[in-house]
Chains A and B, each alone.
Chain A
């Protein structure tokens, strides 16, 4: 089959390369070799996806007071932290994020107040440190939840060790516990990334739920290497996040059209009786032309009978108590 010694040599070095890769770890992303998965066995393929998987669905037979759908409005309060993590201190870029605290968040809180809607706010601890007064404004409402979004919005897949990730996570939990006045029960990883250690670390830290994965569009139990973890996943999606659309690199298209997408997501969630999880950023959706569309969406959802607006924590506590509906 191998027609020339050259081809034989090439094939041998490929095999050797593949073997070296396999010896490392099949699931390791970022390997330079093109398409290493071509050489994986069935067992290796199954192992590669096993670390974090979708377990049983947790949508209850009915939501509180017979509501048809749960709506979870969440905000990833990413101010300057991610820039600072990278060492980027360009003043104009920082001011673009400072806007989130100074102009975006106040507007979002006002809107939530007007509609008496609870929401979940995920914070990197450093963003609380830089804007303590704005953080108090959230707590003052007494209605909102605060969850963990890293120490400094660190890219956890770029960290070098389990210990480093653990230290940053614990530092974040400690800082936020002090600022929040209670220990946060929810984790949302910065940039929705999981390292090989994240699952283990959030179990260790005793989180009630995670909100970084994308395996369904309803609550489910996370399964780690075949074992149910007891941790509830409230899944997110890039489709339901403002950043990919409305950041500068997202070319800032029309909020009008984007919020129509969210509305369509809601309509089917309503019909299917599950949940809608929206993720917005104060420095993005807090702009006037976006918050006005966001408000239209809130008004639209409120106009339907049987919509339960709840924090992620409330949704999780509820699905944990209730028997899941049969599928």
Chain B
């Protein structure tokens, strides 16, 4: 848990640093040499960027057109996408498993042993479909996971890297592509179907990620945060054709329940998700929830996950769907109106 959270934090920092480096280089080339006075290396490079440079800095990946359809299937008012990132041991292994404490890994092993089975029971009892984002390595270590997920025929198997690799730190287009392709091949074999969606490890995106997802023929990405409804990703002003099903830290269990997370009460946190749902319902858009089996699979949290699902199921016109189903639907609908 803590590992995963701190990994994400580290990734954010590393991502920041790597991109700062890249952008600083790019900008250094683009602009006349900055006056080297008392400042030394620019602490705040952005204060000297021109309007054009500022716009370029944000341009690589932006929110394009909103893709919420006029109506969801069967006139439903809202789409609910319940998703699970089965990180388990992968983030620690990606870093070389440097923690000599053998107990640390058991906290994430829990995701496979208890967390996932409990979650599948909760979903099956309610016939709710879900999307599972799995680093290939997590499944190699516990291959019964994909088998059990596929049993109901309702769920989606999707990508979460080869080993939850931090693509921004990797900063290597060929390596990033090789790893993602390796993951696609692995799941195509064990699940019998090529995955169509990707969620990057740690929700970080390198300058190459979107190009690779396009090249490998993916339908959608689910790592960005610019809206709380489906939208089209725009890269440097060009629509990519990739559907973004956006996530947010607000609806991720990890920041709340990490060992350093502040709130001890799962009840209050699931109230947050309920409020998110209520307004999504009112606005007619979608809810994208992200859970981790090793986090929300714990009993005191699973209880509230079940309550939340019951609450949403209790409303008329709620379409529970996998991310794949939603992406396909919004793409078809958007194609109709254009």
Contact = CB atoms under 8 A, between A and B. Distances in A.
A92 B205 contact: yes
A102 B246 CA distance: 13
Nearest to B20: A87
B268 A257 contact: yes
Interface string A219-255: 0000000000000000000000000000010111111
Given A102-B226, A152-B47, A254-B263, A93 B248 contact: no
Contacts, number: 170
A84 B58 contact: yes
Nearest to B269: A254
A1 interface: no
Interface string B50-93: 01001101101111000000000000000000000000000000
A288 B44 CA distance: 33
B60 to A, nearest CB: 6
A92 B42 CA distance: 24
Nearest to A252: B255
A179 B44 CA distance: 25
B205 to A, nearest CB: 5
B224 A287 contact: no
B63 A102 contact: yes
Interface stretch (B174-182, B275-283, B326-334): B275-283
A293 interface: yes
Interface residues of B, number: 61
A89 B233 CA distance: 16
A103 B262 contact: no
Interface stretch (A45-53, A59-67, A154-162, A194-202): A154-162
B217 interface: no
Interface string A76-103: 0000110011111111111110110011
Contacts of B311: none
A89 B16 CA distance: 7
A292 interface: yes
A88 B228 CA distance: 23
Contacts of A126: 46, 54
B224 A161 contact: no
Contact of A88 (B19, B54, B62, B256): B19
B101 interface: no
B195 to A, nearest CB: 20
Interface of A: 80-81, 84-96, 98-99, 102-103, 126, 129-130, 151-152, 154-155, 158-161, 168, 248, 250-257, 287-293
18 contacts: A80-B58, A86-B44, A87-B23, A90-B19, A91-B60, A94-B61, A95-B61, A95-B246, A154-B44, A159-B47, A160-B39, A253-B262, A287-B248, A288-B276, A288-B278, A289-B273, A292-B278, A293-B275
